Amino acid sequence: MPVSMRQFKRIPHWVTLDYASILNLSEHTREWLLDSASLTLRIKNHCQHKQMGLFSVRVLRQGMAIPSNDEVRRLQLGRRRYAFIREVLLYCGKMPVIFARTVIPLKTLTGKERQLAHLGGRPLGEFLFAQPALQRDAMEVAHLGKGHQLHDIACYSLQQELNQVWARRSVFRLHHKPLLVAEVFLPALVDY
């Protein structure tokens, strides 16, 4: 059964940014997780500074699907509603550094925001942070292990097992229209 259809037994315990700041994180991990600026820009700079190769985006899956119950609650959607879901890996050279999952409610894909469904290999963050009307709700972080949806989908996408990984998510709003962006920080980025 595909990962997107599997029932997950464990729901991530997301904590707000304020609480996350006191968690037992290394300074390096904390800097990555709690930075509210453009992650895309930060990774591009990291790739260049560490001479790891060029930044790139690999689209794994995108299209209409049913978000998880956790995502439905966070976006305050009606139950079992379809949304446009995009899953990507962000790379420095040949090294995957971030797995990202974006859930875009259908009501968001209207007007200028229709282009969110047609980004192709363009980074979502590049698009979002260029929008003057962008608002971001409180960021949440979670430590994910086997059985958590994002952890298991990231492992499936990478075709490798991962130990526990850190993730963050937040709801962005463009002209008051929401989308949920979750980012899983892969070991190549936070475990060196």
Compute CA distances 129 → 38, 157, 171, 185, whole Å.
7, 26, 13, 20
pLDDT of residue 7: 43
Q: Give the model confidence (pLDDT) of 50-60 as tens digits.
A: 888 999 999 99
| Contact indicator for 189, 29 with CB cutoff of 8 Å | no
Q: Two tokens at 119?
A: 């980004």
| Closest to 20 measured CA to CA, from 33, 32, 2, 38 | 33
Which residue segment(s) compose the domain that 85 sits in?
3-190
Please tell me the distance from the alpha carbon of residue 149 to that of residue 6, in angstroms, as a whole number: 9
In the 8-state DSSP scheme, what is residue 58? E
Task: For residue 2, count CB atoms less than 10 angstroms from its CB and return exposed for 0-12, middle for 13-18, buried for 19 or more.
Answer: exposed
pLDDT of residue 27: 83
Q: Give the model confidence (pLDDT) of 102-159 as tens digits.
A: 999 999 999 999 999 999 999 999 999 999 989 999 999 888 999 998 999 999 999 9
pLDDT of residue 3: 44
pLDDT of residue 2: 42
Q: Give the model confidence (pLDDT) of 26-83 as tens digits.
A: 888 888 988 999 999 999 999 999 888 999 999 999 999 999 988 999 999 987 689 9
Please tell me the distance from the alpha carbon of residue 55 to that of residue 63, in angstroms, as a whole number: 24
Our count of domains for the chain comes to 1
Q: Residue 92 maps to which CATH number?
A: 3.40.1410.10
Q: What is the pTM of this model?
A: 0.89
Please tell me the distance from the alpha carbon of residue 12 to that of residue 151, in angstroms, as a whole number: 9
Q: Two tokens at 62?
A: 């995108």
In the 8-state DSSP scheme, what is residue 42? H
